[in-house]
Amino acid sequence: MKIVVLAGGTSTERAISIVSGTKVCEALRSKGHAAILIDVFCGREDLDLEHAFSAEYDLAEAVSYMESFNDKIEQMQAEGHSFFGPKVLDACRAADVVFLALHGVCGEDGRIQATFDLLDIPYTGSGSLGSALAMDKALSKQLFRENGVPTPAGVILKKEEARPTAESCGVGLPCVVKAACGGSSVGVYVVQTEEEFAKALEDCFALEDKVVIEAYIKGREFSVGVVEGKAYPIIEIAPLVGFYDYKNKYQAGSTIETCPAELSEELTAKMQKIAEDAFDALKLSNYGRIDFMMDENHQMYCLEANTLPGMTPTSLLPQEAAALGMGFEDLCETLIQVSMRNRK
């Protein structure tokens, strides 16, 4: 198949997206596909659509070209550049499918998905509605509650509202403060004091206009991939220091990851069922990843969903697939086939 792997973009997760896109493109080409890597925002002025999907392709050069824009993104945005870079949509129309290796805002929030739906461009991952619901942690929390999916107690605070204390908003200390639509744990703070709470609010509101404040759950952290509504093996995430923040996610050796997680059959089945329920509650389709905390009493709490999880061989979803005996290349192929099969 002719495949555009779309990566990069303008979010705080641009660098991680480029890594995901590179690995996915490499894997798909190893499976015999004519896959090319394109930056959704920066595009490629010199792209020759007539020969773009030929066997001759320099992936390393494509990555270098994308990375050359890394320190220019804010300036390009300020200058009013279109979100879809030069020849991006033309390339996507020419492809059989677009593999979305984007992360964060303008990638996972449903806007690209809605555009592709209008243009009748096939793509991987959830549709526009599920993507938008999952991206907004405030909406996710509301839908979890309405559908019986256990989630930490919490409140939503808007930028224009008066600033409460942790105690006055009913959550207490310690607690978690996070930007409603952030990704890769950017804009997530575990706070111990009222001073830290006030600072976390200001930092989050510097990123966006809505913040989620929720109870801190002390315990073990897990993630569960869900593909076509069926849960994959559970992975446990144990940071050596702190919580699973941006540094612990992407700095080698900072986190111990165990898959399958060391849980009883009963607890495994329970968490997988909740993951599937969360997937359904957010109207997700094709694949995603659901994050959990479990306290000392084995109470499980669904934190959020990732609709386009990281896609390097050492990312969480590929590790879960490996526990099923599925290599990274086969997983990439599976995610395409699942998305094509369920396309409406």
Candidates 223, 234, 1; CA nearest to 124 is 1
The answer to whether 320 is a known catalytic residue is no
For 249-299, what is each residue's pLDDT tens digit? 545 566 899 999 999 999 999 999 999 999 999 999 999 999 999 999 999
Catalytic (active site) residue 244: no
Does the annotation count 13 as an active-site position?
A: yes
Above 90 in pLDDT, residue 113? yes
The per-residue DSSP string of 201-247 comes to HHHHHTT-SEEEEEE---EEEEEEEEETTEEEEEEEEEESSSSS-HH
Whether 336 contacts 99, CB under 8 Å: yes
Residue 180 has pLDDT above 90, yes or no: no
The answer to whether residue 184 scores a pLDDT higher than 90 is no
- Secondary structure percentages of the chain, helix, strand, coil, to 5: 35, 20, 40
Residue 309: DSSP 8-state: -
Task: Examine the residue annotation and report whether 185 is marked as an active-site residue of this protein.
Answer: no
pLDDT at residue 241 in the model: 61
- Per annotation, catalytic residue among 123, 189, 232, 250: 250
If you count DSSP H runs as helices and E runs as strands, how many of each does the chain have, helices first?
12, 12
pTM, full prediction: 0.91
Q: Do you find a cis peptide bond into 174, omega within 30 degrees of 0?
A: yes
Active site residue 310: yes
**pLDDT tens, 44-71?**
999 999 899 987 899 999 999 999 999 9
Each residue's pLDDT tens digit, 286-332: 999 999 999 999 999 999 999 999 998 889 999 999 999 999 999 99
Q: Which residue among the candidates 108, 109, 291, 320 is catalytic per the annotation? A: 291
Among 17, 184, 248, 285, the active-site one is 184
**pLDDT for res 246:** 46
Q: Evaluate if residue 248 carries a pLDDT over 60.
A: no
Average pLDDT over residues 104-120: 94
Which of 11, 128, 248, 306 is an active site residue?
Answer: 306
Is 342 an active-site residue? no
Q: Among this protein's residues, is 44 annotated catalytic?
A: no
Q: How confident is the model at residue 38 (pLDDT cuts 50, 70, 90)?
A: very high
Task: Convert the pLDDT of each residue in 125-151 to its tens digit.
Answer: 999 999 999 999 999 999 999 999 999
Q: Is 250 marked active-site?
A: yes
- Say what the pLDDT of residue 56 is: 85
Residue of 181, 140, 138, 142 lying closest to 157 (CA atoms): 138
Other CB atoms within 10 Å distance of the CB of residue 344: 5
Catalytic residue among 85, 154, 187, 310: 310
